[in-house]
Amino acid sequence: MLSRTADGLYWLARYMERAENIARIVMVGHRMSSMARSLENPGNEWHSTLLAAGCEEGFFAKHAEAAAPLVVEYLVRDSDNPSSIATCLETARRNARAVRTALTVDMWDALNETWYQARSGNRFAVAPESLPVLLEWVRERSLLFNGAYANTMLRNDAFYFTRLGTFVERADNTARILDVKYHVLLPRHEGVGGALDYYHWQAILRSVSALRSYHWVYQERLKPWLVAELLLLRPEMPRSLLSCYEQIVRQLELLEGAYGGKRGECHRIAGELHARLRFGRIQDIFQSGLHEFLTEFIERAVILGNEISALYLL
Amino acid sequence: MVSRPAAETRDAAAAFDEMAASENCQARYELIRRWIEETPAEALSLKRREAELLFRRIGITFAVYTEGGDPERLIPFDIIPRVLDAEEWALLSRGLKQRVRALNDFIRDVYHGRQILRAGLVPPDLVLHNEGFRPEMQDFAPAQGVYTHVAGIDIVRLGARDFCVLEDNCRTPSGVSYMLENREAMMRLFPELFARHHIAPVSHYPEELLDTLKSVAPQQCAGEPRVVLLTPGSYNSAYYEHSFLADEMGIELVEGVDLFVDENIVYMRTTEGPKRVDVIYRRIDDDYVDPLTFRPDAVLGTPGLFNAYRAGNVTLANGVGAGIADDKSIYPYVPAMIRFYLGEEPILSNVRTFRCGQPEELAYVLDHLDELVVKETRGSGGYGMLIGPQATREELDLFRAKLRAAPGDYIAQPTLALSTCPTFVESGLAPRHVDLRPFVLSGKEIRIVPGGLTRVALRDGSLVVNSSQGGGTKDTWVLES
């Protein structure tokens, strides 16, 4: 396969995943901010939303204050923001078009129709009250794309690169959400357990579609360390870091098999990160600091991405 | 896709009506007539709306064609097919093969001994000072001696047996994806019509193209040749067609940056390391193929590609320099080429053409400017042309001045009464003017998939089949005898 094709597949999957993740993050921000007001919380939800989306720097280069409409505008439709939902859909489509022949018809339809709908009828010029409808639509389109490629692609290197993109992006997103929200919440509320915290934890879990899962796995009321464990270390949780890294390692192994045993530094790093999650314990992670753990993880993931590029995509 | 008005006439009624005329001579349109009569008007309208929906779906992929402009603009598709019978097709097919053989012979001759110039049949200046002429190709013999691997020959019909060639396209002709998609749409919309009649299939075109490309692999290529399609990229207006064809052939769609040349051997960059490439079906112009040989500022091609080609390590299709054969100033000499190289009489005639570089022909053109179509020899895409009967006085005067200043840059042709086919328009069915572009494949042998791209002028009386001016396309049926 052409390196450019592999690159295109990897990035289009990353951008579709990112569009969905940003939609989820904005949805949480939306929900939290409405709660914050009612509970007389000073509320810096929109600031932490920016942090979670990894868009803080770009936002403050443009705006002075994290006011709700500005943050929503920046994350949802600002074309200056490379990670806004609108830009992600545009970039995914552009990548898809450049590697058109590597896509199945269903994948192309999903991507193209998404892009087409996004452009037509001012879908992105919505009033605040219809924001949830827009975010829901983004989530649906991303799920449609994921379903289309999972169900129609040949199981060959093209599929492995696409999946690799999805899970590298998803791992990054889960790590960020956990880091930012945990960081923001925990220091101010030593005694976790108030109603506000409860709703905040709920919102975080919702953002990764894990609220129900939490109850199924733990059958307990929400506890911060269990939320962290669920999102980091539980293999049955599809957006946990462990699940993502299981997939990343698996796709890299499949590529290794497809390319006659050729391995690189990316295989080693992915294996190492996976082992940490696979055999790590949540109490040990808390002992040495969750924030430190996640920060290092996010940094290592960036290096992993670079090594994947160096081995396959350039 | 091509966008060139064919010609214009003041009297469309004089045109050959392919369906009405068949009443006397052939029964080939009988099935269409019966189908239209049998089908209630509402049902036809329904089918027409269905076609629009279907094309919107397929058409979403067509729509990317105008990305940047209006993403919704599709090329209109007319559900009434154009029908040619086996006999007509046999005539066309023979004529096309003959013409393409001669064009290819001409290109080979131009880059070798130039017999035809020495014989005084084509003026040397016209060839050697032509923009399409590539001196870099001198004495180079491409695999199998083929230059025009894919040729699109534009045909207009003026009478029952009177098919004329309006233009040859020997560089990178496009439009074949419409031929394939139109048929696909018709088969989905009207399966019963296909069950009832024997219509020659066209869907094997990609396979024929791939066979053709493989048959011109470099001689030293051992094993199965690796064929790729080289595109200028996703911003090119024909990108949809490039990706469609690569997909149908199962070959890689590459851009210039995906290729590199080492020791005159061409490789593509893959996830498994470099892979050697043997045949490149390139859809980029000569000028952009290789910045080391041609335009140094060209970023679309690959440095060193031309040398690898000349070293015989890779085949470029179409061959570099093939444009010398489809230049408008060369066109009047094609019948002479057929006689010179093949010793045969042309089966398909040319449209009468005035070479404005010749003083007496120029005088005629200046006298009859309001009846003629004047084309710039170097122009394409309908630019730089005058349609006399439609022109204003100012336009005529402007062209008169242009013709006097540089007569050699222009040719002129009479306005043609293009044949008409029944077509769905606002008011129902009405005759509309059509042309035809069949695609001729040349490898070890010459093959033509029976059919082509029929373009139709949707506006009443218009002879302009060009899509930017309200032109549409139709499925083209060749009946099997």
What are the residue boundaries of the structural domains of chain A, listed by start?
1-153, 155-314
Mutate one of A7, A93, A97 to test the B interface: name it (highest B CB count within 10 A).
A97
Cβ separation of B271 and A259 shorter than 8 Å?
Answer: yes
> Distance between terminal CA atoms of chain B?
32
- Residue A75 to residue B227: CA distance in whole angstroms: 44
Report domain extents, chain B.
12-218+314-348+416-478, 355-414
- Half-sphere exposure in the Cβ direction for B170 (13 Å, CA): 30
Q: Could you give the C-alpha distances from B190 to A139, B39, B60, B430, in angstroms and in order?
A: 38, 12, 21, 20
User: Most A CBs within 10 Å: which of B57, B73, B252, B271, as the mutation test of the A interface?
Assistant: B271
SS3 B260: strand
**Searching chain A, which residue's CA lies closest to the CA of residue B248?**
A101
The dihedrals phi and psi of B200, each to the nearest 5 degrees, come to -60, 130
Tokens of A274: 């996976």
pLDDT of residue A186: 57
User: Which chain B residues are Cβ-neighbours of A5 within 8 angstroms?
Assistant: 252
B318 preceded by a cis bond (ω within 30 of 0): yes
Question: Under a CB-based contact definition with an 8 Å cutoff, are residues B171 and B286 in contact?
Answer: yes
Question: What confidence tier does B198 reach under pLDDT thresholds 50, 70, 90?
Answer: confident
What was the ipTM of the complex prediction? 0.72
Q: How far is CA B187 from the centre of its chain?
A: 24
Q: What local confidence, expressed as pLDDT, does residue B65 receive?
A: 39
The strand pairing partners of B439, in sequence order, are B152
Give tens-digit pLDDT for B286-341.
999 999 888 888 788 899 999 999 999 999 999 999 999 999 899 999 999 999 99
Q: Distance (Å, rounded) from C-alpha B79 to C-alpha B431?
A: 13
Nearest to B217 by CA among B308, B312, B117, B306: B312
Sign of CA dihedral B159, B163, B164, B165: positive
Set of chain B residues whose Cβ sits within 8 Å of the Cβ of A1: 270-272
Mean pLDDT of B96-123: 97
Angle between helices B41-63 and B239-249 (to 10 degrees): 90
By Cβ distance, the residue of B60, B247, B271 closest to A3 is B271
Using a CB-CB cut-off of 8 Å, the residues of chain A touching B66 are none
Band of the pLDDT at B381, cuts 50, 70, 90?
Answer: low
The residue type at A244: C
Tens of pLDDT, residues A199-253? 777 878 888 888 889 989 998 888 888 889 999 999 999 999 999 999 999 999 9
Closest to A94 measured CA to CA, from A118, A72, A74, A77: A118
Cβ-defined contact of B271 to A112 (cutoff 8 Å): no
Contact predicate A178/A207, CB 8 Å: no
Element (H, E) at B282: strand B279-282
From A73-87, B90-104, B237-251, the region with the lowest mean pLDDT: B237-251
Alpha helices in A187-289 (DSSP H): 195-207, 211-218, 224-233, 241-258, 265-279, 282-288
At residue A11, the pLDDT reads 95
In the A/B pair of chains, how many CB contacts fall below 8 A? Answer: 57
List the single residue in A with minimal CA-CA distance to B65.
A97
Nearest CA in chain A to B228: A2
What is the 8-class DSSP label of residue B216? T
B248 in contact with A, Cβ within 8 Å: no
Find the mean pLDDT for residues A296-306: 93
- pTM for the full predicted model: 0.82
The class (CATH top level) of B355-414 is alpha beta
Q: If you measure CA to CA, which chain A residue comes closest to B259? A: A2
Q: What is the mean pLDDT of chain A?
A: 87
Give the DSSP H/E element, type plus range, for residue A171.
helix A157-185
User: Which residues in chain A are closer than 8 Å to B254, comparing Cβ atoms?
Assistant: 2
* Sign of the CA dihedral with B24 first, then B30, B32, and B33 last: positive
Longest dimension (CA), chain B: 67
How many angstroms away from the CA of A284 is the closest CA of chain B? 39
pLDDT at B147: 97
